[in-house]
Structure formats: structure tokens, C-alpha cells
Amino acid sequence: MVPHLVTALTGPLLDLEEKIIAATPAIERWFRLEWQEHTPPFYASVDLRNAGYKLAPVDANLFPGGFHYLANEMLPLSVQAAMAAIDKYCPDARNLLLIPEIKPRHPTYFQGVARLMQIFRQTGLNVRFGSLDPSVTQPTPLALPDGNMLVVEPLVRSPNGRRLGLKDFDPCTILLNNDLSAGIPDILTNLHEQSLLPPLHAGWAIRRKSNHFNAYDEVAKKFGKLIGVDPWMVNPFHAKCGAVDLTTGEGQESLAASVDAVLAKIRKKYKEYGIKEKPFVIIKPDAGTYGKGVITIRDAAELKELSEEQRKRMTVIKDGKAVTDLNIQEGVPTFESIKEAFAEPVVYMIDRYVVGGFYRVHGEKGPDQNLNAPGSQFVPLAFAQQHAVPDVKAKPGTAAPNRFYVYGVVARLALLAASLEMERTDPDPEVY
Amino acid sequence: MVPHLVTALTGPLLDLEEKIIAATPAIERWFRLEWQEHTPPFYASVDLRNAGYKLAPVDANLFPGGFHYLANEMLPLSVQAAMAAIDKYCPDARNLLLIPEIKPRHPTYFQGVARLMQIFRQTGLNVRFGSLDPSVTQPTPLALPDGNMLVVEPLVRSPNGRRLGLKDFDPCTILLNNDLSAGIPDILTNLHEQSLLPPLHAGWAIRRKSNHFNAYDEVAKKFGKLIGVDPWMVNPFHAKCGAVDLTTGEGQESLAASVDAVLAKIRKKYKEYGIKEKPFVIIKPDAGTYGKGVITIRDAAELKELSEEQRKRMTVIKDGKAVTDLNIQEGVPTFESIKEAFAEPVVYMIDRYVVGGFYRVHGEKGPDQNLNAPGSQFVPLAFAQQHAVPDVKAKPGTAAPNRFYVYGVVARLALLAASLEMERTDPDPEVY
């Protein structure tokens, strides 16, 4: 269970790591001040890529599954953070309604939902599960991989229509663990008396990656200034390309131009820092992916050579939503591997607190590919790796806790960006 | 490092344990609501005694030393809790001034102070140490047992007299880790622009155990009602006896009467629950002890047979403060032992969060004696024992995490009592 980091990291990341650890009090104070101005998402997970020469978030998930992959022993951190979060939204809360995915993308998904129940029970909440699946018309038990089970129940609006709950269960807080890729169901709209967390516009029915990346640009810039590093060290270049349909070829030229532009920017940075890698970009839909419809491109010419299968995959996204806007993101190769499989760290946060993480590992993918794909496995960051307290005297690149602290800092940069993103995209901003 | 609990607990505690674990959501919600009304102490440690048939706090320390005895691995819990605490008092804080003991009672005391520095650094604070020792007239390095060192510096009032700091160091928050047994130094008075934590009246110059025990009576009563148990299961009987000087014999008769009264109450409870133990009481000064001046009495007649040495010890307390008021507390025997030495759990809290604990172990003391005495040792509660998430399905009395969760609940009852105590004894209540 203890990931062995086979990569020997050298060069600028060590410099970045050193600077982050030396600046710990300044960084933590800066976060403290930022969280006075901005409300962190209720919970989030952030995928990081550690290239050795740079360390950057590549995705921020506001409906994190996979809490069961966090090391058991670190559960108290989640409980403590959840206490702080609940205090903020509904300090009197007695009941929490959790709305999970209907058709989970991962076979152990509901195990993570059960873990969330365990966490929130410890904060003093009765937790029950409501289903968005119209075929769930009565309490329905679901068997869990560990032999336990949980029961999902039909959602019910109160007689006056103002509240959402279950039969004989009136929650103060409704926690979504469903990213709403399929659109916003009517039953979730016009709820004004209860806290719906995260808010509806955090779901992929409304959310756009480009808004997140734009907010992250600002955060990375501030952070770079704070600790005296090039923001690029924590931030991949990105560009958005609208109205693309690869099955018809519509917008393909404009996409190729964007790809070329991003590759050129990367090449310049690689030259500046003497990095010998071959630049590449990741193209993904602007409206959420689940790891589908993500491709790696090293040259704009490759776009013409995409197979029909690949074009289709870039077009048909979850629940049949067609791609129109694409994001071109600088590819950050992962230099971390576990037993010869490439790995990327995923960091979990509740409120503004880092509560754990794991490595996503894929045996059949390369260092320049998306690892969030069928066949990926999860290795919990074991205890010694996981605790967030850096050893200021450890030599950079050697101490696992130091690395995890640094991961926690960069993940929180993405968390802060998500907070800005949510503020700016809020359709009903006066409630903030 | 993993304490092996050799006692086989039976009877009512298992019942108490079961009830506490089953009522987890109700208990946690109750705490959540109480903390909306009452501000928890900044930090605290609580000594518990587990008698098998009852589990009760016997002491609540508002200037906890010994943070270095908490398992290293659980440090992130302290950091997270400290973040929440700092946010409450001084969210903009950049500098923290920590004022430790002058002549520590324990040889490794400053190691715990260094640990506090590490914790607060992680919350985004620059930490420096100010000394109340008038002989410290310049920055003075102190060697730590682990080979590191820390520097204590002379305290300085600002030119206008309104602030306290060090040379070139103006803190927003001043954290006392000195219990002020020797009285309140002038340099700490009339500070209105900075947060002084805990407040001066938490120090033994002003604080009285009887106020704490009285507040605890109320808390235990509420808690007993909440989960449906006799509050006595978590609360020792106690009585206060004023104006006693055992060296002269003054007040000794009144003390004997109080001892008899408490013993009679215990006897009645023992009969009610079929407990075969021999009742005893612990007599301790009302104004703080450091474990000095604490005696075990099984019969009021023993008071007449105290040696001159014992009488002296009951009279001369730390820094020469003479005893006048004594507390008679129901003795709760400890049924826990580690390698044949009797042990009692000590639970640490920052703000309202349990952040860890250890066993205080004494090889030369009996199950009915005060273990907080020279010669005591400390066994960190190792990881598996320490995490605060109970397993609802584990058989009571078998699961170490369950036991620790229960310890955390009872310790927080004492924390809540300390909060009420501080409110009620505040000489300057309008600042709350």
C-alpha cells in the first residue's frame, strides 16, 4: 500500500518544492486571507501531474467520488473538516440528504458514498440517500463491495413544494454527489429553504472547464508572486476552441491553430528552462468528461489523422451530450510511477482542508496520457506519505511528507480557483 | 508504542460505551449546538479515569504541555484544528507570541513547546517565544532533548504600553502555555489590542477547580439526559472545603465531615450498581496542583494519621502558594494498565476538536492513586487506537477506536464545562 516513487526528481521542481516549504507560513496565511474573501467549495478532488520540472492541477472535481480510496487511518481529518463545513452552512443541521450518481462510472462508487455517510454521521448528522433515478419508487437496497449495503430512496418535494426530502425525512442540507452531466432535474430547482451543496451551477450541465482554467490563471499568478516563482511552474497553458464537431470536421482548422499556438508557447518555456521533453497538449471537452473524449496530441497534423472511433469519442460525451467547445491544455507528463505503471496524485479536500489523497495508476497508459480512464487503479497514499506537515529540514525530493505537503498546496490553488469560478458563474449571486 | 489494554472491561461501562456510540449523531449535533453558544478554550488536555463501571474526567488543563507525546502521525489533526482556532480569534494573524513555563515541571517540556511551534507555523504564523523570567534579558537558546533548540526572548511592551511583543516582533495573538500559578505578571495585564489566549482568568492565579466541577455537573446532567444514562457514570462526586491548613490542623474537622459525606454518596451508588470496590476520595487544592498536594483517602480517620511530610505537601503548593481551599473528589480507580503499570488516558483538544491523546503510566502507583506525579511516563496512543471514528458494529469493549471515540466524547464534556467556567468567571464579561 505504500507507493514507491521510482522517479528521481531533479531540477526546477526541487526548487519549487524548496520555495513552497520555506514559505509555509506565508502561504498558509495567504490561504487564510483568501478564504475570508472566498467560500471554498464544500468538497473537491484535484488531479495533479508532477512532471519533475513542474507540478500542476489538471482537473478539479466538485463532486468527488472515491472517498473510500483515502487511507482509513486519516478519516478523522475528513470528519474534522466536515464539522467545519457543516458549521458554515447549517450549524443546526440534524439531517443530511445525499444524492449520489444514478449509474456510477466506477464499480466501487457506492463504497465511497458509504464512506461519506460515515464521515457525516460523525459530524452529528443523520444521513440518508435520495435517488434522481425515476425508476427508484421505493427504498431500494444496494449491495456494497464490502458486503454491507445502503438504501437509496425516492426524492419527495414537500406538500408546499418548497423543500426537498425523503418520506419522513426533512433535511437541512442536501449534498450532491452527482455532477449533473445529464442536466438539472426539475426536482432540484427552486429550493430556497435548504442548503444545496455544491450549488447547481457546479454541475456539468452549467459548469465549463475554461472558466475554471481562467480563474486558475489568476490564482497561479498571485501565488507565483507570493513565493517568487514563474506561475507556469504550477499552471499549464490552455486555450478554448468553440464550435468544433470532429465528426463533420466543423471547426477543425481553428482547433489546429489553437493547438499550434499552445504547443509554441510550451516549446518556448521548455527552451527557457532547458527541458528536453517533447511538448504535447491534451484536448478535452469544455463541459466535463469522466475521462471520455480526452486525447493527447503532439502536433496539429495529428488532428487530421484521428480515427473515426476517436472522433466519435470526442463528440459523444456522457449521456449523449454533444461536444461543441473544446479545451486545449498543455500536457504535463507524469514522472511518477508505481511498479512500472504511470501514476498521478489525486488530492481530496473538504471545505478548505486537505483530508487525504491517493495515486491514480494506469498500467496501459503512457506518461503523456490521461490516466482517468477505464482500467485505472487506486493506491491510497499511506499514512507516512499522507500527513500534511512538512519537515523543513528534509532534503527536497527525498521526504514523502514534504512532497505531499507541496501537493496539498497546489491542490488548494485549484480549490481557490474553483471558488472564484463558482462566484463568477453564479446565476443568483446575491445569495453569496 | 501500541498500548495493550490488559483490563477486560465488563458491566456498565460497556453499556455506557454502547449508548455513546449508538447516539453518535445526536451527541455530535448537541456539541455542535453547544459550541454555537459557548466558545471552547483555545486548547486543553483532560485526564480521564476509566473504572470499567464509569468513565470520568478528573482534571482539565487549560495550558496543556506534552503535545510532543501525541503520535507524530496525527499532527495534521492538530494543524487543522489550530487553523480553525486561529481563524476565530485573529484571522489576519501573521505573528504568534508563545509564552512558555519558566521552570518546566517536566524535563521534556520544551519539546512540547517546539511541537506547538511546528503546529502553528503550519497555520500560517511566525512563532517566537517570550519569557516571563526576568533573568532572560536577551535571546537565550534552550537545547531540546531531540538535539534541536529553541530561543526564548525577553518580553517587551510597545512604547505606548498598549501592546506586548518581542524586539521587532509584534504579534496579533499571544498564546500562554504558562498556567500563572505564580500570579499574574504585570507585563500581561491591560492588553486590549491583542488576543491573549487563554485569558488570564484561566490561570491558577484566579482559576478554581470547584468552579470547573460545578460547571461539569451541569454538563454531565444534560449529557446524561441526552443519551439516557445516570450522569454519575461520567461524573465523580465532589465537595469543596474552605479554609483548611493541615499543618496547623485548622479546618480539619470540617474536611473530615466533607470526606465522610462524599464517601457516603459513593457507597450508595456502588450499592445501586453492585460495585464491589472500596470507595475512596482524592483531596486536592482548589487552585491548581501539578500533581503535588494530592492525596488518596479511604476513610476520614486517615486524615488524622497524615504524616507531617504529607501535611506539608498539601500546604506548600507550586511557587509557595499556601493551600486554603481543598476539593474532595470521588476517586475513580483506573482499570487500565500497560505492562503492569496503571495507566490513565489524557485527551488533547484544540478548539472544539479532539486532536490526539496518550496514556499516562506510573509503575509505582496504585489504581486508586494520582498518576500525575514524578516518575510518570507517557505512551502515545498509536495510530490505530487514536482515530476518532467509531465502528458502530464492533462489540463494545473490544474495539480500540471505539474506546478512543468514547474517551473523546467524555473529554469534550470537560471541555464544554471549562468553557462555561471561563464565561462565568470572566472578570470582564462584556468582551465575550
Nearest-angstrom CA–CA distance, A297 and A302: 7
Instruction: Report the C-alpha gap between B5 and B339 in whole angstroms.
Output: 9
Q: Are A360 and A64 in contact (CB under 8 A)?
A: no
Measured between alpha carbons, how far is B177 from B114 in angstroms, rounded to an integer? 12
Q: What is the mean pLDDT of residues A286-313?
A: 80
C-alpha cell of A89? 452552512
Q: Which residue, chain included where needed, has cell 486590549?
A: B192
- CB neighbours (10 Å) of residue B115? 19
The whole-angstrom separation of Cα A193 and Cα A206 is 22
Distance of residue A265 Cα from the nearest chain B Cα, in angstroms: 35
pLDDT value at A400 more than 60? no
Q: List Cβ<8 Å contacts ≥24 apart for B255-261.
A: B255/B283, B255/B303, B255/B326, B255/B328, B256/B300, B256/B301, B256/B303, B257/B300, B258/B328, B259/B283, B259/B297, B259/B300, B259/B303, B259/B328, B260/B300
Say yes or no: domain B72-205 is CATH 3.40.50.11280: yes
CA B242 – CA B323 distance, rounded (Å): 9
Query: Residue A373, class by beta-carbon neighbours within 10 Å (0-12 exposed, 13-18 middle, 19+ buried)?
Result: middle
Q: Mapping DSSP to helix (H, G, I), strand (E, B) and coil, where does residue A276 land?
A: coil
> What's residue B351's pLDDT?
97
**Does the distance separating the beta carbons of B28 and A123 come in below 8 Å?**
yes
**pLDDT in the model for residue A402:** 67
Parallel/antiparallel/unpaired status of strands A341-350 and A326-330: unpaired
Map residue A374 onto helix, strand or coil. coil
CA dist B326 and B308 (Å) reads 18
The total of other beta-carbon atoms located within 10 Å of residue B74's CB is 27
Q: How far apart are CA A236 and CA A329, in angstroms?
A: 7
Residue among B420, B214, B231, B423 nearest B329 (CA): B214
* pLDDT at position A85 over 50: yes
CA dihedral A97→A180→A370→A146, nearest 10 degrees, is: 30
Which residues of chain B make contact with A83, given a CB cutoff of 8 A?
A: 28, 32, 352-353
CA A293 to CA A327: how far, in whole Å?
A: 11
Q: Shortest CB distance from A79 goes to which of B27, B122, B388?
A: B388
Contact: A93, B29; criterion CB under 8 Å: yes
* Amino acid of residue A406: V
Written as one string, the DSSP assignment of B125-193 is -EEEEEE--TT--S-EEEE-TTS-EEEEEE-EE-TTSS-EEBTTB--SEEEEES--TT---GGGSS--S
Which of A143 and A7 is assigned the larger pLDDT?
A143
Count A/B contacts: CB-CB distance under 8 Å.
114
CA dihedral defined by B417, B420, B421, B422, rounded to 10 degrees?
120
The enclosing H or E element of B198 equals none
Strand pairing partners for A156? A165
Q: What span, in angstroms and rounded, lies between the C-alpha atoms of B256 and B261?
A: 9
Contact A41, A81 (CB under 8 A): no
Considering only the beta carbons, identify the residue of A29, A36, A118 that sits closest to B94.
A29
Report the share of chain A in percent with pLDDT over 70. 88
* CB-CB neighbors (< 8 A) of A86 in chain B: 32
Q: Which residue from A118, A387, A390 is facing B389, i.e. has the nearest CB?
A: A118
Q: Strand A126-131 relative to strand A353-362: parallel, antiparallel, unpaired? A: unpaired
Rg (CA), chain A: 21
Cell (9 digits) for A367: 506518461
Look up residue B163 and give its amino acid.
R
In chain A, what residues touch B27 (CB-CB under 8 Å)?
124
Q: What cell was used for B200?
A: 488570564
Instruction: Name the CA dihedral angle for A81, A82, A83, A87, rounded to a multiple of 10 degrees.
Output: 110
Nearest to B70 by CA among B388, B307, B426: B388
Instruction: Render pLDDT for A210-256 as a digit per residue (tens, 0 to 9).
Output: 999 999 999 999 999 999 999 999 999 999 998 788 777 788 889 99
Which cell numbers in the block locate residue A280? 504535447
User: CA of A165 to nearest chain B CA: how many angstroms apart?
Assistant: 19
Chain B residue with minimum CA distance to A115: B389
Assigned C-alpha cell, A206: 452549467
Where residue A107 falls among pLDDT bands split at 50, 70, 90? confident
Record the cell numbers describing residue B339, joined without a space: 505492562
d(CA A24, CA A244) in angstroms, rounded, equals 43
Q: Which residue has the higher pLDDT, B216 or A320?
A: B216
Reading the block at residue A259, the C-alpha cell is 493547438
H or E element in which residue A238 lies: strand A238-241
Q: How far is B216 from chain A (nearest CA, A)?
A: 22
- Chain A interface residues (partner B, CB cutoff 8 A): 24-33, 36, 72-77, 79-81, 83-84, 86-87, 91-94, 118, 121-126, 352-353, 383-384, 387-390
Sequence ranges of the domains in chain B? 1-62+208-236+332-432, 72-205, 240-330
Residue of A273 and B244 predicted with greater confidence: A273
Cell 458494529, residue located? B393
Distance from CA of B126 to the nearest CA of A (A): 6
Alpha-carbon gap: A159 to the closest alpha carbon of chain B (Å): 27
**Contact predicate A228/A19, CB 8 Å:** yes
Out of A377-381, A385-389, B227-231, the most confident range is B227-231
Question: Is the pLDDT assigned to residue A360 strictly greater than 50?
Answer: yes
Tens digits of residue pLDDT in A2-36:
333 333 344 456 788 889 989 999 999 999 999 99
Contact criterion met (CB < 8 Å) for A28 and B389: no
Res B83: pLDDT: 94
Mean pLDDT along residues A200-211: 93
Task: Pick the residue of B20, B21, B28 with the most A CBs within 10 A to test the interface with A by mutation.
Answer: B28
Residue-wise pLDDT for A165-186, tens only, equals 999 999 999 999 999 988 899 9
Tell which residue, B63, B65, B129, B118, has the closest CA to residue B96: B129
Number of Cβ within a 10 Å radius of residue B166 = 20
**CA torsion, ordered B386, B392, B393, B399, to nearest 10 deg:** 20
Kind and range of the H or E element at B117?
helix B109-121
Beta carbons within 8 Å of B227's beta carbon, 6+ residues apart:
B19, B20, B23, B26, B27
Phi, psi of A174 (to 5 degrees): -115, 120
Q: Which positions in chain A touch B91 (Cβ < 8 Å)?
A: 32-33, 36
**Residue B31 has what pLDDT?**
97
Which residue in B432, B428, B422, B425 sits closest to B63, CA to CA?
A: B422
β partners of residue B149: B143
Lowest mean pLDDT among A79-83, A87-91, B278-282, B332-336: B332-336
Q: What is the pLDDT of residue B385?
A: 44
Would you say B5 and B406 are in contact if contact means Cβ atoms under 8 Å apart?
A: no
DSSP, collapsed to helix, strand or coil, labels residue A108 as coil
Q: Which whole number is the average pLDDT over A68-84?
A: 88
DSSP state of B278: P
Nearest Cβ partner for B389 among A79, A81, A126 = A79
Interval A80-94 mean pLDDT: 91
Chain B residues lying within 8 Å of A79, measured CB to CB: 388-389
Q: Which among B29, B75, B93 is the nearest to A387, CB-wise?
A: B75
CB contact under 8 A, B76 and A122: no
DSSP tag of A146: T
Task: Give this complex's ipTM.
Answer: 0.86
Of the candidates B429, B417, B323, B309, the one whose C-alpha atom is nearest the C-alpha of residue B56 is: B417
Average pLDDT, chain A: 86
- Contact list in B for residue A29 (CB cut-off 8 A) is 93-94, 124-125
Cell numbers at residue B37, please? 453558544
Output the pLDDT for position A268: 97
- pLDDT for A395 equals 55
Q: How near does any CA of chain B get to the CA of A136, in Å? A: 27
> Helices in A278-424 by DSSP H: which ranges?
308-315, 383-386, 400-424
Please give the Cα distance from B311 to B307 (Å, whole number): 6
Per-residue pLDDT reduced to its tens digit, B83-108: 999 998 888 999 999 999 998 878 89
Q: Give the mean model confidence (pLDDT) for residues A106-122.
A: 92
Euclidean distance between CA atoms B233 and B48, whole angstroms: 12
Residue A124, C-alpha cell as written in the block = 452529528
- Taking CA–CA distances from A126, the nearest residue in chain B reads B25
H runs (alpha helix) in A50-91: 75-89
Low-confidence ranges of chain B (pLDDT < 50): 1-11, 318, 382-388, 397-398, 432
